Amino acid sequence: MNAHWVEVLVAIVGLAAITVVSRALFMIPERELPLPDWLKRGLKYAPLAALTAVIAPEILMAQGAVLTTWQDARLPAVACACAYYFWRRGILGTIVVGMAVYLPLHIGWGW
């Protein structure tokens, strides 16, 4: 076994240990840890912030640069999907509408 594989093995074991410890940290105490009210209020917005941080660059950027044209299939697809969501409040329909707009524009027109 050469040094390269030893480094890879150490990295995998180390990352696994860090993952187990960080996830188990909340299960080790016997009672719930008290959190300050400001932190509880802030944690309510964490999923929305994370989702926005992942989705916004995918919609507004192409190959690491901000979109400079309106002829991108993602923009009308997002607009139609948002309109459907605010109209019906259904997640599955939102996905279907967004893809129904995106695919013809992207595949058919090459946007």
DSSP 26-81: TTSSSSPPP--HHHHHHHTTHHHHHHHHHHHHHHHEETTEE---S--THHHHHHHH
Q: Is the pLDDT of residue 105 over 70?
A: yes
More confident residue, 3 or 49: 49
Are 69 and 109 a contacting pair, CB within 8 Å? no
Q: Of all residues in the chain, what percent carry a pLDDT higher than 70? A: 99
Mean pLDDT of 40-61: 91
CA 27 – CA 69 distance, rounded (Å): 49
- Is 0.75 surpassed by the pTM of this model? no
**For position 1, what pLDDT does the model report?**
58
Residue with the two structure tokens 């599955």: 92
**For position 32, what pLDDT does the model report?**
80
